[in-house]
Structure 1
Amino acid sequence: MPISEEVLTPVRAAAQAAADKLATNIVAFDVSEQLAITDVFIIASARNERQVGAVVDGVEEALLKDGVKPVRREGDRENRWVLLDYIDFVVHVQHTEERSLYNLERLWKDCPQIELGIDLPEQPETDPFEDELDNW
């Protein structure tokens, strides 16, 4: 059974909010046939722990404007892999190292990928704060 528009609307809003905070490699999978606990997994990467936190906060703020609140938030102490559970969908924001190590796409490769239709802002070539830290 296809994912309802009632679920897809906040999924796309979450993906766009992640993109607005410069998350990369944003994908979503329809896991409804494999899992009884949720319908969609969204996965996004961030370059460092601060950006992971910013992406998570951006997703939460964007969805709160639409009255959608997570029932659970995990992993925000270390900001290496933060999970936001919205029951119908789960947002995974991972540091690029965790994303590479755990490779969730490989685990869910048999699930249909959801077209998100998000506008991606231009990504900086490097971390703008890297040079400042080197010169500090």
Structure 2
Amino acid sequence: MPAMQESIDAVRLAAKAADSMKGEDIVAFDVTEPLAITDIFLLITGDNPRQVLSIAEEVEKQLYIQLGLNPREREGVTEGQWVLQDYGDFVVHVMDKESRKFYDLDRLWKECPRIDLQLPDTAENGDTSAGIENKVSAKTGEQGSDSASSQE
């Protein structure tokens, strides 16, 4: 069963908030099939610890202001290398570049469907396939990894 629309909408809002703070490589995976504990993983990259914390703070702020959501759990807010915000139905991962590369969650969840985050064409989502796919999906309105695979 795919992720619920309510969760997808919340993740899109979180992605938009991250994009407004210059988050990069923003991608969301529908992890409902392999995981029973959550529906969506949202991955975001920041350039440095200060930006990672700023992105995480803005995501949390916008989800609370617009949807009344607070994370159930929050980890990594002192280090600023990898901030995890668990909202139950979805989990937000804001990572610095080194952590994103080292843990490579994109590779771990690559078989899961990607969610079209509907970010604007001007979103600067880096040079990775995740960023390219977001730009393609935003233009075409397609959901899933089909648009990314055709470009690889």
Normalised by the length of structure 1, the TM-score is 0.87
Question: In the TM superposition, what is the alpha-carbon distance from 1:2 to its structure 2 partner?
Answer: 2.2
Identity %: 47
C-alpha distance in 2 between matches for 1:59 and 1:104: 20
**Aligned equivalents of 1:112 and 1:47: distance in 2?**
26
* Pairs aligned (count): 123
* Regions of 4+ moved over 3 Å: 120-123
Q: CA distance change for structure 1 residues 116 and 28 in 2, over 3 Å: closer, same or farther?
A: same
- How does 1:1-136 map onto structure 2 within 5 Å? 1-65=1-65, 66-119=67-120, 123=124
How far apart are the structure 2 equivalents of 1:108 and 1:28? 10
In 1, Cα distance between equivalents of 2:81 and 2:90: 20
Report the CA distance between 1:3 and its aligned residue.
1.7
Letter in 1 for 2:35: L
Q: Which runs of 5+ in 1 are unaligned?
A: 124-136
Structure with bigger RCO (C-alpha 8 Å, 6+ apart): 1
Take 1:15 and 1:120, find their aligned partners in 2: how far apart are those partners? 14
Q: Kindly state the Cα deviation for residue 121 of structure 1 after the two structures are TM-superposed.
A: 5.3
Question: Which whole-Å CA distance do the structure 1 matches of 2:30 and 2:123 have between them?
Answer: 27
CA displacement at 1:84 relative to structure 2: 0.3
CA-atom RMSD in angstroms: 1.2
The CA deviation at 1:118 is 1.3
Structure number with larger C-alpha Rg? 1
Unaligned runs of 5+ in 2: 125-152
Q: Match for residue 131 of structure 1?
A: none
Q: Deviations over 1:10-69 (max 9, x none)?
A: 110001101010000000000000001000000000000000000000000000012011
1:126 match: none
Q: Which amino acid aligns with 2:80?
A: N
Secondary structure of the 2:61 match is helix
